[in-house]
Structure 1
């Protein structure tokens, strides 16, 4: 299929291409397009199958079941019904859960009860034939040399050996499932896996980002309220929330949890000092300036003012995407110190949205 790459692409984009191309293609060409599209979706099926590993089923069987779910997704997908990826995740998970429901034990029975259950069944048949009536629990217990409590427990475990599925149809002519007759569906049950995964991923996030997510989506606080709480700008809160949500979405659909963005970056802002012409100094600032590193910015710039008593200090802020109230206070301190020492201070490379903040702080005369 033209446009498809061997590198895993965006499945939603490929799905739209597949639907359009298949609608205009001959049957033989449409079949080949279908095979190509299924092949592109195999990595997604493998990742979802991997989440169910270690539960007693062979990994190869789980991957085959997931691939069957992928094929069903491709055959049933309708472009006007929404995202293909979301539909694929729901369908493949349904196939995997159905596999566990139909091919594994409903309950775990200890080996001791399994053996005792077989003896109880055999003794019941023998005593019924000999006594011409159903035996009592005491008579069965005496025959198998066990207590009546153990006999009752063994009989109960036998009933759970071949437990009937709640998804079994009531009859061949009725599509109603047995579970439908026992009570209503729990709408939160399908989200248990996702909630468990999200909970473990949240513990991997930095505390500040985790608190912001909690305040925004559990505390129902606005971005402005969160910004005031942490002493940063609303724009920075918006960017941090977007970064956290993007990382969560990526981690939910991958086997290996990706590194946290910026996890290996050097702490604080980066400040590079250069010597200009004569007694000029240039300080290039890179990174976000907030209350955690505003002190570092103030100390480095004051040190540049004291070293050699420059006549001009140029602070290049072209590499600063955001600056909060603490950072602005640091610049005010540097401005006051420069004035007292007879050094001119100039701010360059300031983004338009930061220029408004700097001007409102009373530093507008320093902008160039």
Structure 2
């Protein structure tokens, strides 16, 4: 990939000698990749200074740019080493990092008064992270299904174009020469290629929408879950009630007896039963709110 970008240094130097630009020539670097990092730092300043003066498309500018790329490849190797052990081919990671290096060289200016290494590393690391983000699955999926996902996408596009509609599982299975069950399994596995956080912010169409997150729009609230939480909190509070208070609650809310019926069974007035129930419920409410005091 980058052999073509860098080209033949010997030929570029020869072309430079013939260019006759009238400016002081750049030093010839026999093997830019072998330049020590400390020397590369000073040489890079010279090459960047000259690069800013040269016109696009000239052989000397091509030589300066390509030499800068080769001299600073150690930065890419250094950045790529931070991602060792991710399971990907390191050469792919390095090649991706080279894209970041080239972007940094094309955008760097000596007037920034910052070392090129400090300027370039964020570009290099950014490209490598983008590579992992674009090529890494969000969840673990068997290699067989990862490979089938690509074939399935091709088959779907082919059939969709031919039929002018979405193909069925049976049609995909026939074209791919696979059992329908395996096609379905691949379709499900494809959902693991990317994911979104439930806390991901969603942008509304206007300020009246406010800021929302994905979780706000997924599923429905289940009232039964709230009841479970309430029962869990209520159980120890019920255990603290007297036997008589628990009996009153059982008659009122389980047996659904009227206050008058409860009064008959307890030998008291309906008004007294009403006061008893209010007192018990108030006690339980304070307990649920963490304010339990004396009844």
Q: TM-score normalized by structure 2?
A: 0.38
Bigger Rg, structure 1 or 2: 2
Q: TM-score normalized by structure 1?
A: 0.31
Select the structure with the greater relative contact order (CA < 8 A; seq sep ≥ 6): 2
Q: Greater helix share, 1 or 2?
A: 2
